[in-house]
Structure 1
Amino acid sequence: MGSNQEAAAINPGGEADAKLVSLRRTKLAAAAALAACVAIFAAARSFQGQYPWLGFVAAFAEAATIGGLADWYAVVALFRRPLGLPIPHTAIIPANQNRIADNLGRFIEVNFLSPGPVREKLNEVDFAALVADWLSDPRRAAGLSRFIGRLAPQMLGAIEQSGLRDFMGSRMMAQLEKIEVAPFAAGLLRAFTEDRRHQKLLDELTRVVGRFLNDEQALAAMREKIREELPTMFNLFRADAYLLKKIVASAGSLLEEIRADPDHPVRAEFDGFVQQFIERLEHSKAYARRAEQLKRTLLERAEVRGLAGDMWESLRLFIEQDLESENSAVAAHLAGLLTEAGRQLARDPAIRADMNEGFVVALASFVESQKSGVSSFIADQVKRWDLVQLTRLVEINIGRDLQYIRFNGMIVGGLAGLVLYAAERLFFTH
């Protein structure tokens, strides 16, 4: 690698140091074993004349020495040139750094990032449960709510700039124009009258009229009107006051009776009036034409046309002002909604299964689209490694196992030499 940071990535501190110490110990043991083979061979050959059976020992030690040297050469040739000599096909790893990097990247892409293994691994993860656990924490939900609140002004501004507000306004007006007012109003009124809720409207009307009859200014106006209609002679006897008193008393008494009696005839008349009006709205073409004309007149007014824009501005102003306050109701409700969503998700395995399937499809598709980039990234990183660091990395991680090849080479070579020497003595010595 070309930087200290990259070197640190290759040599992660204490673990690498421990591996290096273990490697050196194994190398020393292998070298000592090879030296022992040489010493045994020399000693056995020296005393073979006196003790013929030492020929077997010498044959084993000689072959073991040759096997150990051959495997030492093979292991060293992977990482560097043996004894610094420019022997062909040595220092294999440093000489093939680029090819190793490309092959490593392709190997990971084909064997680890193919669709099958990726989906199998992703299916082991319950992503929905992780999301549910995360959202169920009120502190985290509140933090996410505050984060969304900080983004709200930008989101609202983006909606305005995108033309979505005007689009929603035009769509709302288009939908209102499609509504047939008469049947719609009839349906609302019929639902309103099913449990006689319209009678509460009659009760309210009687209260309004009662308050009117007790208003001094209203009574004075009524008395003046009666006085104008009565002959002059009647006014001399204050007949206007008498008539007004009788009218107010009779009307007040009637209103009290209506409010007190749920089966009063006036209520029945009111029921009939409302039902007749509903039927006309449902079936009368004249009513339908007048309702449509009224609707078009209202929709053509500038105030109604600008209603959508005014509603949007009011909504935006409310959200922005609320989110700026320390005790934001929107943020509090959003945090509660997120927390409850997490709890509901934790309790609903079917929704979690659907979410997990969606995560798997999305992530697998992402890996499939990016895996060639991952392969190139790995290859580029390996190519950037310094040759010394690269060699050291590989040797630290697998060199200790490779040193056992030297032990095996000495054992196998020694046994082979022993067998050959025994065969020689058996077949060629008379």
Structure 2
Amino acid sequence: MMRAMSLAALSPDDAEKLSGLRRMKLIATGLLVVSVLLLIAAKILDRRYPGVGFAFVAAFAEAATIGGLADWYAVVALFRRPLGLPIPHTAIIPHNHHRIAESLGTFVETNFLAPEPVKQKLREVDFAILISDWLADRGRSANLSRFVLGLMPQIIQGIEGTGLRQFFVERGLNELKNVDVAPIAANLLGALTDDRRHQSILDEVLVGIGKILSDQKTIDLIRDKIRDELPTLLRLYRADAYLLRKVISSSFSFLQEVQGDPEHPMRSEFDRFITNFVEKLRTSPEYAAKIDTLKQELLARPEIAKLADAVWESLKTFLLDNAADAQSALSKHLEKLLVDVGHQLANSPKIRAEINDGMVMILETFIASQKSGVSRFIADQVKSWDIDQLIRLVEINIGRDLQYIRFNGALVGGLAGLVLYTAEYFLRLN
């Protein structure tokens, strides 16, 4: 319930309005008193000096008095009972307090919160540029970064305490199981073959093969294999050593030829192999099925779940360690990311338009769903106001104009009375 408000509690603007209201009340009341005194004086003078014209003054003063009294009654009847008398249809605002509250709430809901005006007003606001300007300020982005990282321990605790981690892992694995890997692999390999970039992979493979052939253990294994395949007679003449040297020498020579010649037939054959493989990935159901089977078997292995747990633990440790340090690299990177987002948003009209459209849609939907609650809130608030305080606030804000009605009523009434009396006077002469 609103408490009664003293003059000292008024704002400077309301205090000035109240002073103006009091001045206008004095003027309007003074005009009414002057009309009454003028009426009395004109009537007396007209009896003493008939035909001089005091009758016209009396007619003006009489009509002005009636007009002033009528408008005084009308203005007072809005707020209270005139002279405290129980006259019907007076004290209109106090007697209709709750109905006015309901009507005000309905008026706001119907006219101010209607879909079209709300949508039009929301479209006048550039939400994206406000977000952009806010994020582009390094100080604000730094504060937001610290705020987000400050919530990290609670977020992690919530994730672990509610089983969200297991939920996300299972959802992630299920989504991976539903992914068609073959087209993705085909696209990746297709992008790799642009400008023959896959040849660099072949070069790395050739270098790896050369290292393997240079390894003594590999050489010993090849020698043992050759020795096992040779007849006993050739072993006696150490043909295995001769053949080993030839195999190693020929292999190195071949590898060097392929590495040194960009147009070597081996490279062309590798091009054809990659091209055919990519095409089969794109078009062959058998290849797609084989790859999908391999994917399902891989995801079903317990090592994958353990790997997910290990990744989570590492991520959790990293986040907690960095969240505790306001000067951590993560905090700096997040701050820089937010600032960059602000700058990029300012330079991207398309993204700004999409953000603004999204904000308008969200806020319009929210207002449409909540406007009845706003209407009820306004009505309840107005109902809870102290009626005397409500009347005083209304008087402070519109009372001065209402006093002008009293002033104008006396003036217009007096002129109307004078016109009517003049018309009557001339009619009598005829």
Q: Considering the TM-score relative to the shorter chain, is it more than 0.5?
A: yes
Cα distance in 2 for residues equivalent to 1:420 and 1:287: 107
What displacement does 1:25 show? 0.4
3-state DSSP of counterpart to 1:325: coil
1:263 maps to which of 260, 278, 297 = 260
Cα distance in 2 for residues equivalent to 1:287 and 1:113: 60
The aligned counterpart of 1:28 is: 26
Cα distance in 1 for residues equivalent to 2:142 and 2:38: 78
The residue identity in structure 1 corresponding to 2:260 is D
Alpha-carbon contact 2:346-2:352 (below 8 Å) kept: yes
Cα distance in 2 for residues equivalent to 1:317 and 1:375: 50
Cα distance in 2 for residues equivalent to 1:357 and 1:170: 35
What displacement does 1:379 show? 1.2
Cα distance in 2 for residues equivalent to 1:286 and 1:96: 82
* Matches for 1:4-23 after TM superposition, within 5 Å: 12-23=10-21
What displacement does 1:128 show? 1.4
Q: CA offsets per residue over residues 359-412 of structure 1, 9 Å max, x none?
A: 122112211111111111111111111121111111111111111111121112
Distance 1:96 1:289, change over 3 A: closer
What displacement does 1:38 show? 1.7
What displacement does 1:17 show? 1.0
Verify: 1:359 aligned to 2:359, yes or no: yes
Distance 1:135 1:40, change over 3 A: same
Alpha-carbon contact 1:63-1:410 (below 8 Å) kept: yes
* Matches for 1:327-406 after TM superposition, within 5 Å: 327-406=327-406
The residue identity in structure 2 corresponding to 1:263 is G
Distance 1:261 1:296, change over 3 A: closer
Gaps of 5+ in 2: 224-237
3-state DSSP of counterpart to 2:343: helix
The aligned counterpart of 1:40 is: 38
Distance 1:297 1:77, change over 3 A: closer
Cα distance in 1 for residues equivalent to 2:311 and 2:115: 49
The aligned counterpart of 1:64 is: 64
What displacement does 1:157 show? 4.6
Alpha-carbon contact 2:146-2:326 (below 8 Å) kept: no
What displacement does 1:302 show? 2.7
Alpha-carbon contact 1:68-1:410 (below 8 Å) kept: yes
Range that drifts further, 307-316 or 295-304? 295-304
Alpha-carbon contact 1:280-1:287 (below 8 Å) kept: no
The residue identity in structure 2 corresponding to 1:364 is E
Cα distance in 2 for residues equivalent to 1:116 and 1:289: 54
Alpha-carbon contact 2:145-2:335 (below 8 Å) kept: yes
3-state DSSP of counterpart to 1:197: helix
Distance 1:298 1:369, change over 3 A: closer
Compute the RMSD of aligned alpha carbons: 4.5
The aligned counterpart of 1:227 is: none
What displacement does 1:295 show? 6.7
Q: CA offsets per residue over residues 309-341 of structure 1, 9 Å max, x none?
A: 332333333233233334333332222222222
What displacement does 1:307 show? 2.4
Cα distance in 1 for residues equivalent to 2:274 and 2:403: 102
* Matches for 1:148-187 after TM superposition, within 5 Å: 148-159=148-159, 161-162=163-164, 163-171=166-174, 174-175=177-178, 179=181
Alpha-carbon contact 1:186-1:279 (below 8 Å) kept: no
Cα distance in 2 for residues equivalent to 1:310 and 1:337: 27
TM-score by length of 2: 0.77
Verify: 1:83 aligned to 2:86, yes or no: no
Cα distance in 2 for residues equivalent to 1:292 and 1:22: 85
Cα distance in 1 for residues equivalent to 2:289 and 2:57: 121
What displacement does 1:175 show? 5.0
Range that drifts further, 157-166 or 121-130? 157-166
Range that drifts further, 337-346 or 167-176? 167-176
Alpha-carbon contact 2:177-2:296 (below 8 Å) kept: no
The residue identity in structure 2 corresponding to 1:171 is N
3-state DSSP of counterpart to 2:28: helix
Name the count of aligned residue pairs.
Answer: 411
Alpha-carbon contact 1:186-1:278 (below 8 Å) kept: no
Distance 1:276 1:137, change over 3 A: closer
What displacement does 1:211 show? 7.1
Q: CA offsets per residue over residues 108-144 of structure 1, 9 Å max, x none?
A: 1111111121111111111111111111212222222
Alpha-carbon contact 1:40-1:58 (below 8 Å) kept: yes
Range that drifts further, 87-96 or 326-335? 326-335
Gaps of 5+ in 1: 224-239
Range that drifts further, 310-319 or 255-264? 255-264
What displacement does 1:202 show? 4.8
The aligned counterpart of 1:121 is: 121
Alpha-carbon contact 1:68-1:407 (below 8 Å) kept: yes
State the identity %. 45
